[in-house]
Structure 1
Amino acid sequence: MKYSPSTWWSVAGITPKHIKRYSLKPAALFLLIVIVCSSMTMPDPDNSMRRADKAYAKADFAEAAEWYQKVLEKEPENLQAMYRLGISYLEMREPRKAKLCLAKVFELDPRFGEKVIVNLAEALHQNYEFEEAKKFYQQEIYSTGRADWNYVEVIRKRLEECNAGQALLAQPSVAQVVNLGAAINSKEVEFVPILTGNDSTLLFTAHEAPEGPEQIRISRKVKGEWKASKEFLPATNTKMGHSIVTISPNGNQLYTYAAAEGLRSFDQAKGAWVNPKPMPIPLSQLANETSVHITESGEFAFFSSDRPGGYGGLDLYVSQRFPDGTWSAAINLGASINTPYDEDAAFVDATTKTLYFSSRGHNTMGGYDIFKAVMLDGAWQQVQNVGFPINSPHDDLYFTLDRNRQSAYFSSDRPDGMGALDIYQILFLK
């Protein structure tokens, strides 16, 4: 790329007014520009910084982190490398490492990158250091004032999440959470666990992020252990790129979601899944419907949608199936369940009349938390956070309960997992 003289003046901090004032001759001016620009350029003999920035721009944060580390080995005070290394660790769900980097940047230059305060607060927040995170969130609010009210409201919500986190951690532990390990999880993404076959079969979706297609996989439990998963359906068939949503209680319908097609159903015939068709209105209504749960009786469908008329973001709705197979008009579950934020991934335990779902609202400690509400006398009772350690400051969703109600499964991108999103088992404490 070629630069005009005016562009070079701007880069060097020189304007035409400076030129006129000092009456520099062209040769002297050229020499001055070379000197100034040379002083602005940091040595980068192996192109580590350029490679790091290129990976960072592509959102390949693992590669970016490797190159920024190499830069810092030679230039320990390089704030740009330290800052972007911290952000990369945040994106990689390594808040402890992110905190160390961002705290160093904040110590050397509290206003570096403009948002280093809130980035550091986020790292502390994700690392369960709620009280320290609150201090930095509050500092960000004071420094912003009324200049950006919407942004201030976002930070205020972060403060509420920290308060919720402190309250939830102060309560007795409700369960033990166990990563399902290498038989199910990988370094990539696994989510939406679905139990079938009397809880002896686990279906889920795997995704080789960021470009690989989603793939439905299956694992079977033998002598109490989940065996290595394998592809449930050939990748060449019509379900390539589809993620599993649920299976009907009788096992005859498979429900999937694909970004380009929305929710679809497949029928089982002679061991194959055939007859793909979109979910009928009102379950699918030219909006973003991302999940559906069919109750054990097959009579009700609970689903998420961002259709107009909701409370904000994704809301949860219910529709009843008539004897002729058609569905009733969808009913919003109301303000006791839905919030101005997203609600998704419903699961209903018909025996106890309990609705489980994930939400970014209510008293979440950060990201999606899993909540429950009981139906009593035709009304949903107060929503309850299912508690720590099931929930975390990260995304916890796609809850599914086993038949004995002694354990459950869900997906989470919490730190110390095997990949970007893993499947975990919940062992409830008696």
Structure 2
Amino acid sequence: MKYMPFTWLNTAGITSHHMNKYKFWSLKVAYSLLLLVVIVCSSMTNPPDAHLRRADKAYANADFAEAAEYYQKVLEKDPKNIQALYRLGISWLELRDPRKAKLCLQKVYELDPRFGEKVIVNLAEALHQNYEFEEAKKYYQQEIYSTGRADWNYVEVIRKRIDECNAGIALLAQPSVAQVVNLGATVNSKDVEFVPVLTANDTVLLFTSHQAPEGPEKICISRKKDNKWQKSIEYLPADDKKLGHAIVTVSPNGALLYTYNAAVGLRSYDQTKGSWVNPKPMPIPLSQLANETSVHITEDGTFAFFSSDRPGGFGGLDLYVSQRFPDGTWSAAINLGASINTAHDEDAAFVDSKTKTLYFSSRGHNTMGGFDIFKSVMKDGGFQPAQNVGYPINSPHDDLYFTLDCNRTSAFFSSDRPGGMGALDIYQIVLLEK
């Protein structure tokens, strides 16, 4: 369930609920090796100085903040150092600063067109993340032309990116549907915060926090006082401190708390005298020897909506529903079908029972990039085609784990968009009156 970097390298198929992010990292390995050959040949005639050595070490260790710091020092002495420019651009992409990434990668392309051909897709991604969709499309198309039919799967990935740019253009042309506000330092940090869960009439916020990329996950709590969220603290210690665990949801009656752990999957805790005890695995079919990463229980406790990559789905993670019988057992799971699920990933369901609306996150449909939040209304016994909830809730980045407050005047979600405090932050959505 850990949130990992390299968000700009994602392809079809994701994360865990918690984020096993699918990347097209593997598709870039060949390019990276080729670039490495160029770099090694160059360094034989121009031995790297201490700053370059330190920058390269930080880059290899995925410490992109330190890498960026030292590559900039290298460029102060040698503004045309292609290696430093390229890796600085990639570091800025990883640090979610697409504007700076674009400037570096454009310069690489201008200084050395042959080398620049290898970074076209990175430049396109920087433009894409910076909402420069039309310009990004030009470079994505150029990448397709240079690839040809040699790697058809990769071409399909790039075509999807073009589709995302087209969706972004269309979504930005629509009226704004909400204001999006970062919850600030009492909840968010330089690390990762995600999966907001509201309880106690929206006065308590539970969420997951961990140090990216390998720190243990922990469940935290923040309480609202004088209409402000207070400094968060750890809420439910994990059995395995090295791995930790992440919150998924709390049952409508507050009697059960659900968590996810990569080693054991979904579990439930019982509340006894104010404490959460007796962790036990979710029953079949909510847990079925596959990757079940999230679950949402409806307000009446009757239905469970969950994500799973079990065989027989549309691709990646799909959303399923199961009905609870009076004796506490669950019915066979039903796939929610083509109106909801795609060949990509669907995750993090939330159901508003009053309006019969399903909210979820998807990499498919008309996402503008990464995960977007979608909604679908149940009508005549089935779900209507999914609709993108629009900008600025969605972005070219990952936007997911949507949850409404009791009054349905605001909502909360997680996003790794630029301008946040860390790799993934929790935001509040203030819905605008129509």
- What TM-score, normalized by structure 1, do the two folds share? 0.89
Report the counterpart of residue 307 of structure 1 in structure 2. 310
Report the counterpart of residue 60 of structure 1 in structure 2. 63
SS of equivalent residue, structure 2 residue 329: coil
Alpha-carbon deviation of 1:38? 10
Amino acid paired to 2:233: K
Amino acid paired to 1:42: N
SS of equivalent residue, structure 1 residue 363: coil
Question: Structure 1 147/207 Cα, relative in aligned 2: closer, same or farther at 3 Å?
Answer: same
Asked if 2 retains the 8 angstrom alpha-carbon contact of 1:233 and 1:239, the reply is: no
Report the counterpart of residue 262 of structure 1 in structure 2. 265
Amino acid paired to 1:156: R
Supply the distance in 1 between the matched residues of 2:297 and 2:42 (Cα, whole angstroms).
Answer: 66
Report the counterpart of residue 157 of structure 2 in structure 1. 154
SS of equivalent residue, structure 1 residue 111: helix
Q: 1:37-76 maps to which residues of 2 (within 5 A)? A: 40-45=44-49, 47-76=50-79
Report the counterpart of residue 14 of structure 1 in structure 2. none
Deviations 1:139-172 (A, max 9, x none): 1111212121111111100000000000000000
Q: Does 1:108 align with 2:108?
A: no
Alpha-carbon deviation of 1:114? 4.9
Supply the distance in 2 between the matched residues of 1:318 and 1:181 (Cα, whole angstroms).
Answer: 35
Supply the distance in 2 between the matched residues of 1:91 and 1:258 (Cα, whole angstroms).
Answer: 26
Alpha-carbon deviation of 1:323? 0.6
SS of equivalent residue, structure 1 residue 265: strand
Supply the distance in 1 between the matched residues of 2:42 and 2:230 (Cα, whole angstroms).
Answer: 60
Q: Which moved more, 1:210-219 or 1:322-331?
A: 210-219
Q: 1:236-315 maps to which residues of 2 (within 5 A)? A: 241-315=244-318
Alpha-carbon deviation of 1:382? 1.8
Q: Does 1:330 align with 2:333?
A: yes
Q: 1:12-91 maps to which residues of 2 (within 5 A)? A: 40-45=44-49, 47-91=50-94
Structure 1 spans left out of the alignment, 5+ residues: 1-36
Alpha-carbon deviation of 1:234? 3.7
Supply the distance in 1 between the matched residues of 2:345 and 2:223 (Cα, whole angstroms).
Answer: 33
Q: Does 1:427 align with 2:430?
A: yes
Q: In terms of Rg, which structure is larger?
A: 1
SS of equivalent residue, structure 2 residue 236: coil
Supply the distance in 1 between the matched residues of 2:249 and 2:363 (Cα, whole angstroms).
Answer: 22
Q: 1:87-102 maps to which residues of 2 (within 5 A)? A: 87-102=90-105
Deviations 1:48-71 (A, max 9, x none): 212211111111111111121111
Supply the distance in 1 between the matched residues of 2:322 and 2:188 (Cα, whole angstroms).
Answer: 34
Asked if 1 retains the 8 angstrom alpha-carbon contact of 2:238 and 2:245, the reply is: no
Supply the distance in 1 between the matched residues of 2:416 and 2:241 (Cα, whole angstroms).
Answer: 29
Alpha-carbon deviation of 1:403? 1.0
Supply the distance in 2 between the matched residues of 1:194 and 1:377 (Cα, whole angstroms).
Answer: 30
SS of equivalent residue, structure 1 residue 115: helix
Supply the distance in 2 between the matched residues of 1:132 and 1:110 (Cα, whole angstroms).
Answer: 18
Deviations 1:328-375 (A, max 9, x none): 001000011000000000000001000000000000000000000000
Alpha-carbon deviation of 1:74? 1.2
Supply the distance in 1 between the matched residues of 2:99 and 2:171 (Cα, whole angstroms).
Answer: 21
Q: Which moved more, 1:398-407 or 1:63-72?
A: 63-72
Q: Does 1:377 align with 2:380?
A: yes
Supply the distance in 1 between the matched residues of 2:314 and 2:255 (Cα, whole angstroms).
Answer: 34
SS of equivalent residue, structure 1 residue 204: strand
SS of equivalent residue, structure 2 residue 296: strand
Supply the distance in 2 between the matched residues of 1:201 and 1:293 (Cα, whole angstroms).
Answer: 18
Report the counterpart of residue 134 of structure 1 in structure 2. 137
Asked if 2 retains the 8 angstrom alpha-carbon contact of 1:110 and 1:117, the reply is: no
Alpha-carbon deviation of 1:210? 2.0
Q: Which moved more, 1:112-121 or 1:336-345?
A: 112-121
Supply the distance in 2 between the matched residues of 1:188 and 1:419 (Cα, whole angstroms).
Answer: 5
Amino acid paired to 1:362: H
Report the counterpart of residue 393 of structure 1 in structure 2. 396
Report the counterpart of residue 9 of structure 2 in structure 1. none
- What TM-score, normalized by structure 2, do the two folds share? 0.88
Amino acid paired to 2:74: V
Q: Which has the higher contact order (CA 8 A, sep 6+)?
A: 2
Amino acid paired to 1:299: T
Report the counterpart of residue 364 of structure 1 in structure 2. 367
Asked if 1 retains the 8 angstrom alpha-carbon contact of 2:109 and 2:116, the reply is: no
Q: How many residues align?
A: 393
Alpha-carbon deviation of 1:135? 0.7
Supply the distance in 1 between the matched residues of 2:45 and 2:90 (Cα, whole angstroms).
Answer: 23
